[in-house]
Structure 1
Amino acid sequence: MGRFWDKYTGTRYPGSEVMPLPSTHLRTALLALNGPDVPFVVRDARSAEKADLVAEWRIREPTWQTFFVRNGLDRQFRIRMRLVPQKREVRTLDEQWEVTWVGTTPKVATSGAYGRGPMTTVSKRWTSEQGPDGRRRRIQAFGFDSREMKNPLRDTVLGAGWIWRGVVFRL
């Protein structure tokens, strides 16, 4: 079940030619991914999160509004990472929360969902508008793809010579 389980959890191994870096260097490299042009943040984990580092992306999708009702979706996508220096691996756990809001002031949550484990989340919202040629066309108004956060994290870990190991139940 090894290869199947690795594929399911998204576990990746570094190339054999890559020399493993110390855990302090890897931690610094992961924290260095932060920046003004990056749509997520990598930070030190709080003690309740049971991890070493956390990467999170909070998404507020655009809302639509009728006369008195405003609808929207709040979503949080987070990757908890635990560094295991003895095995030169980073154990990761993906988590996602979604809350749909409907109502006027104050807002009322109509539904909520929580998921954890290996996941790829893609969310897009489109609008239509009139183009320069006078025809209606679809324009992407909002887009979120969890791979935009996971790929740089995973590439940094693999570039440091460590294993990126997805877990399902606990870190």
Structure 2
Amino acid sequence: MGRFWDSFTGTRHPDGDAAVSSPAELRAALLALGGPKVPFTVREALPAEKADLVAEWRIQEPAWHTFFARSRLDRQLRISMRLDPEKHEVRSLDEQWEVTWVGHTPQVAASRAYGSGSATTVSKQWTYEKGPDGRRRRVETFGFDSRAMKDPLRTAVLGAGWTWRGAVFRL
């Protein structure tokens, strides 16, 4: 099943000519990805998380209003990574939590959702406004794409000569 299974799990292999970095160099490169210029953080994992590194992105989408209620979506995306120095691979697991708040205080109804595995999430919101030519046009007011976090992590791993192994099951 090799390459078929790899495409299903999101596994990527480095180029054959890539030099293999040490685990310490890879860890430092991944930790350096988080910072004030990116919307996510990369940190050392806590012992209970059963991983080596964790990348997190917390999103609070803007509230939208209907005639009856107001709604807001809070989302957290986390990529847990475990380094395997013997195989030169990083095993990753994507986890996502969503909480939808509907209603006005004090009557709030919340729904929750959780998902794990290798996933891509895209969320966008638009409004309509009058353009410079006087015609109505659609303008994006909010955008979220999980690839903005996963792609730099995967690129750093592949650039270090390691394999990025996506996970379907818990690490």
1:81·1:91 contact (CA, 8 Å) conserved in 2? yes
Q: Please name the residue that 2:129 is paired with.
A: 129
How high is the TM-score relative to the length of structure 2?
0.95
**Equivalent residue of 2:8, what SS?**
helix
Deviation per CA, 1:68-111, whole angstroms, max 9, x where unpaired?
84310011111000001111100000011111101222463432
**Equivalent residue of 1:169, what SS?**
coil
Q: Please name the residue that 1:87 is paired with.
A: 87
How high is the TM-score relative to the length of structure 1?
0.95
Letter in 2 for 1:8: F
142-151 vs 109-118, which moves further: 109-118
Return 5+ residue gaps in structure 1 as ranges: none
After TM superposition, the structure 1 = structure 2 runs for residues 96-107 of structure 1, keeping only pairs within 5 Å, are 96-106=96-106
1:71·1:102 contact (CA, 8 Å) conserved in 2? yes
Separation of aligned partners in 1, 2:118 and 2:145: 14
Separation of aligned partners in 2, 1:27 and 1:158: 13
After TM superposition, the structure 1 = structure 2 runs for residues 108-123 of structure 1, keeping only pairs within 5 Å, are 108-123=108-123
Deviation per CA, 1:149-168, whole angstroms, max 9, x where unpaired?
11000000000010000011
Q: Please name the residue that 2:163 is paired with.
A: 163
Q: Please name the residue that 1:71 is paired with.
A: 71
* Deviation of the 1:16 alpha carbon: 1.1
RMSD: 1.5
Separation of aligned partners in 1, 2:59 and 2:16: 37
Identity among equivalent pairs (%): 70
Separation of aligned partners in 1, 2:167 and 2:149: 17
Letter in 2 for 1:148: A
Moved over 4 A (4+): none
Letter in 1 for 2:71: N
Q: Please name the residue that 1:18 is paired with.
A: 18
Q: How many residues align?
A: 171
